[in-house]
Amino acid sequence: MKVLVRFFAFTFLLMLSGCIEIIDDLSFNDDGSGTFKYNINLSSSKIKLNSILALDSLDGKKIPSVDELSQKIKTSVAFFKKNAGISAVSVESNFTDFTFKLQCDFASLEDLQRAIRTFIREETKSPLMPELKHDWLSYSGSQFIRSVPLITTKKISEIKFEDRELLKQGTYTSITRFDTEIEDFSNPNGKLSKSKKAMMSRANMYALIQNPNLIDNRINLVKLN
C-alpha cells in the first residue's frame, strides 16, 4: 500500500528525504469489511526536510509551503471520502516531526482498491495506467493475498541513487488482523501474534527495492464449522 505515499500532498518529501518508516495496518471483519491505517514517519529526516521546505525550488521544481501542503491534503481527503464503500476517513499531519497518519473504514477490499485507483488517476491526470490494472489485495473470507502494487516499484526506482543508501535506515512494516485465527502463511519472514489472529511482516526499504516480493503474503485462516 505504499502506493498512497506517492499521491498524497507530502509525497515529494518522501522522494527527497530517504529515511522512511511506514506501517501498513489492515484489520478485517468476517464479512470482508475493515479498517485501513497507514502511518508514515519521516522524523529522522526532519532537518533535511525543513531545509528543503525553506527553498523556493529544487531541481527545477517548485517547493510548496507547509500551508499549501496542508490544503492539498485536505482536498485529497475530501476527494477520497466521496468513494463508495469508504467511510470514517481521517488524516493527521504533523509538519514539525513530519509524521502522517491516514485511516479509513472500507466495506470491502474491492471498494478500498477502487478508491485508491480513482484517487491516483485523479491526482496524476492519467486515466490509463497499466500498473493499476492488477489487484494487489484479495480476501475470500478464508484466505488473504497481498502483493506490492506495480506502481510502487516503479516510483521507488525513481529515487535518486544517492538517496537509496538512506533507505537502508528505513523500514516497511505490514500488519494484518482478523477476527478468525490464522492457520498458516507463506511469507517466511512473517511473525504470528500470540492470539494467532494477527501477523506482521517487516522489510528494510532498500531491500524492498531490490526484491518487491519481500512483503508478499498468502494467509490462510482456520475454517469455522
**Strand arrangement, sheet containing 86-94:** 86-94, 99-106, 34-41, 21-28, 171-177, 198-204, 191-192
The residues near 10 (Cβ < 8 Å, ≥ 6 apart) are 40, 69, 73, 93, 98, 100
Residue-wise burial string across 114-151, b where 16 or more C-beta atoms lie within 10 A, e elsewhere: bbbbbbbeebeeeeeeebbeeebbebeeeebbbbbbbb
Choose among 51, 168, 142, 38: nearest CA to 91: 38
Express each pLDDT in 165-193 by its tens digit: 666 777 888 999 999 999 999 999 899 99
Q: What is the mean pLDDT of residues 19-27?
A: 87
All cell numbers assigned to 73 = 491534503
Residue 74: per-residue pLDDT: 83
Residue 196 near residue 179 (C-beta atoms within 8 A): no
Residue 62: per-residue pLDDT: 81
Q: Indicate if the pLDDT at residue 138 is higher than 80.
A: yes
Q: Based on the structure, what is the number of domains in the chain?
A: 1
Q: Kindly report the CA angle at 20 between 17 and 24, in degrees rounded to 5?
A: 145
Banded model confidence at residue 52, pLDDT cuts 50, 70, 90: confident
Residue 145: per-residue pLDDT: 92
Residue 124: per-residue pLDDT: 67
Q: What is the mean pLDDT of residues 140-166?
A: 69
Decide: helix, strand or coil at residue 16. helix
Domain that holds residue 120: 3-221
Residue 117 near residue 132 (C-beta atoms within 8 A): yes
Q: Indicate if the pLDDT at residue 119 is higher than 50.
A: yes
Predicted TM-score of the model (pTM): 0.83
**Strand arrangement, sheet containing 182-185:** 137-139, 143-146, 217-221, 182-185
